[in-house]
Amino acid sequence: MPHEVLKIDGLTKLRSGRPVLRDVSLSVAAGERVALLGHNGAGKSTLIKIALGLLSPDGGSVRVAGAVPGSGPARLATAFLPEAVSFHGALTGREQLSLLARLAGTGTGPVAGLLERVGLADAADRRIRTYSKGMRQRLGLAQVMLGKPAVALLDEPTSGLDPISRQDLYAIIDELAAQGTAVLIASHALTEVEARTDRIAILRQGELVANDTLRNLSRRAGLPTRLRIVVRGGLADQMAAETGGTRVNGASVDVECGPDTKMEALRRFASMPDRVEDIEMTPPGLEDLYRHFAQEGKQ
């Protein structure tokens, strides 16, 4: 049994008398990275605020490392990285992290190593006000790593960052998970969480409509895989007509296959070496799945 350090059971929350979270159950185990997705207003921030103990539930229960959010033990076990982390601009990165380390009771021992790890060793003695947004987010992650938290809640951690900074940040998040932290990442950036998380949870208007691995969600959604058949010498029209596929250019035909028919179709095309030169396969991605689950039933 995985050790579930963030455990949310039947969580309901009303805001201004309206339910913004409805019977949400979601757990994150030690070392697991879970993406929390949903449209604006779906309830992601509310869920994170409840896990931080900033809002209290109206129904159900939330436990962080077995403790009630907001309690002493839960606070020690939880780290939070907001979308735009704000620090004291007049302090240097090293001063800020040392201050936080003393407040957290960890001592300043790990500070230099952490600054190195998040790529801020060279900038450690510059004032934070001179840092770019990416550098501030990295300092935020150094802070998250400082306490070796049982649970890390990251709210849009890469928003506004360039692609390289995003990759850097995810590499640090991977390391955080590898050291045993349960990581919950609220995000709108589908393509990056697709490769960087173990499980996908999708909120739609306060309800959890998906909570599984990408592979299992794909299977459940039954979304088609696209086979692009690269056809030899001028046979694209004929192939399109025979298969009901769509000709994309003079040499290729796209055929969509459901999960049940994919292998059969692959075998069929592979057995036509005189007509088929190549087969490219594109499985449904997170964007397709997100559209399926986040908008299902919504007109």
Ligand X SMILES: Nc1ncnc2c1ncn2[C@@H]1O[C@H](COP(=O)(O)OP(=O)(O)OP(=O)(O)O)[C@@H](O)[C@H]1O
Residues from 150 through 189 that contact ligand X (CB under 6 A)? none
Site for ligand X in 3-42 (CB under 6 A): 15-16, 20, 38, 40-42
**Residue 287: other Cβ atoms inside 10 A:** 11
Report if residue 43 touches ligand X, rule: CB under 6 A. yes
Q: For the residues of 122-137, what is the DSSP string, one character each?
A: TTTTSBGGG--HHHHH
For ligand X, give the closer residue by CB, 70 or 283.
70
The residue whose two tokens read 């939070």 is 80
Q: Per DSSP, which regions of the chain are E strands?
A: 4-15, 18-29, 33-37, 59-64, 78-81, 151-155, 182-186, 199-204, 207-212, 225-231, 246-249, 252-257, 276-282
Q: How far is CA 54 from the centre of its chain?
A: 22
Q: How many residues touch ligand X (CB under 6 A)?
A: 11
**Smaller CB distance to ligand X: residue 43 or 284?**
43
Least distance in angstroms from the C-beta of 178 to ligand X: 27
**Side by side, which strands form the sheet with 225-231?**
246-249, 252-257, 225-231, 276-282
Which alpha helices (DSSP H) does 39-178 contain, by range? 44-51, 72-77, 93-104, 111-117, 133-146, 163-178
Nearest distance from C-beta of residue 16 to ligand X, angstroms = 4
Put residue 119 in one of left, alpha, beta given phi > 0 → left and psi -120 to 50 → alpha: left
Which one-letter DSSP state was computed for residue 223? P
User: If binding is defined by CB under 6 A, does position 137 make contact with ligand X?
Assistant: no
Distance CA 235, CA 239 (A): 6
Which CB, 41 or 66, lies closer to ligand X? 41
Q: Which is nearer to ligand X, 6 or 128 (CB)?
A: 6
Stretch of 43-51, 135-143, 211-219, 232-240 lying at the interface with ligand X (CB under 6 A): 43-51
Rounded to a whole number of angstroms, the minimum distance from the CB of residue 49 to ligand X is 8
Minimum distance of ligand X from residue 41's CB (angstroms): 4
To ligand X, the closest distance from the beta carbon of 145 in angstroms equals 24
Q: Which is nearer to ligand X, 152 or 223 (CB)?
A: 152
For residues 58 and 12, the answer to whether their CB atoms sit within 8 Å is: yes
* Minimum CB distance to ligand X smaller for 42 or for 201: 42
Interface with ligand X in residues 83-122 (CB under 6 A):
none
**Cα atoms in the 13 Å half-sphere on the side-chain side of 154:** 34
Contact letters for ligand X, residues 44-63 (x by CB under 6 A): xxx-----------------
Name the residue nearer to ligand X (CB basis): 20 or 135.
20
Q: Give the shortest CB-257-to-ligand X separation in angstroms.
A: 34
Token pair, residue 216, equals: 């299992």
For residues 22 and 33, which CB has a smaller minimum distance to ligand X in the complex? Answer: 22
CB of 218 to ligand X, least distance (A): 23
Nearest distance in Å: CB 1, ligand X: 30
- Three-point CA angle 214, 149, 143, nearest 5°: 100
| Residues lying near ligand X in the complex (CB under 6 A) | 15-16, 20, 38, 40-46
